[in-house]
Amino acid sequence: MKVFLKFSISACFLLFLLNANSDTFAQDANKRPPSVADEVANLTRLPLGEGTLIFENWLVYSVNLKGKKRTAKIYYSDNHPTFCWTDDLNNTKSFFFRDSTNATTLTLIPKKKQGTELSPAMMKAMGFTQEKRGDIIYKINKEAENTLINDHSCHAAISSFEDMEYTMWVADRKKIKRSERKMLGIGLRFWFSNQQRAALASANMKESWIPLGFNFEGYEFRVLDWGTEGSFSVVKDDFMINVPGLDLKEVAKKYVEDLNRKKEENLPQNED
């Protein structure tokens, strides 16, 4: 009975400690060693994982939307399915992280060694969720004039969808190094699948196509550069991820329950 009472008191104290939000509590917490504060905060976080990911492949592109232009970059690898990217190279304090093309997207902040899992609502608001559609077919228009993108002459592949014409600019694959063709195809198809507009996300393109540009009314996408010898890396052990729905009170309750359960398992059994 004494043991049970002792742990009940400990449980109440821990719940009070984790839920307290007064100025006095905040001041006291700031005085504690950073490691203790981190441990408390990490109760509502999950580790990103273990090991270091190296991203040797990279792709730089620009997007011009109604006169507003930004330059972005995608990082990926031949050795694992993870993608990292930044939507604006003028703001590199954080970047997006996805373990595979179908996994949940995270935002990572290297300086703070923290990240956040994006909820479905956040994904939709940021343009990373699109309605499922059937394949949007593009066909090369041999009568259209070619356009020059990154010193490559590109053919126009056209599709009409929802009363709008879309143009995909396809490079001559023979003019691109054999070692770079597959790498470019993987990065570009990831970019297309990551777009909200169905004409891009559901674009059905031939396996041999390497689209270096895309146009529709008020929108222009252009590939600027690419490479296969990058050194961008993510040390997964360094990051703790905030997960929507992990409530501090519930985590604390489970922590105390597990503590009591382990204690009871270690109690000596009464003999009959």
Residue 184 clears pLDDT 80, i.e. is over it: yes
pLDDT-derived band of residue 2, with 50, 70 and 90 as boundaries? very low
Please give the Cα distance from 130 to 109 (Å, whole number): 26
Domains parsed from the chain with CATH numbers: 2-46+246-265 (no CATH), 52-235 (2.50.20)
Residue 123 in this model has a pLDDT that exceeds 80: no
Within 8 A by CB and 6+ apart from 44, the residues are 242, 243, 246, 247, 248, 251
This prediction's pTM: 0.73
List the beta bridge partners of residue 154: 147, 171
Looking at residue 103, its pLDDT comes to: 78
The closest alpha carbon to 224, from 67, 63, 88, belongs to: 63
Query: Taking a C-beta distance cutoff of 8 angstroms, is the pair 55, 73 a contact?
Result: no
pLDDT of residue 6: 40
pLDDT band for position 135 (50/70/90)?
confident
For the cut 50, the answer to whether the pLDDT of residue 182 exceeds it is yes
- Going by C-alpha positions, the residue among 224, 223, 196, 211 that lies closest to residue 157 is 211
pLDDT over 80 (residue 108): yes
Element (H, E) at 168: strand 164-171
Between the alpha carbon of residue 235 and those of residues 80, 99, 156, 206, the distances in Å are 14, 13, 41, 36
Q: What CA dihedral angle connects 183, 185, 191 and 197, to 10 degrees?
A: 180
Greater model confidence, 13 or 50:
50
Tell whether the model's pLDDT for residue 21 goes beyond 50: no
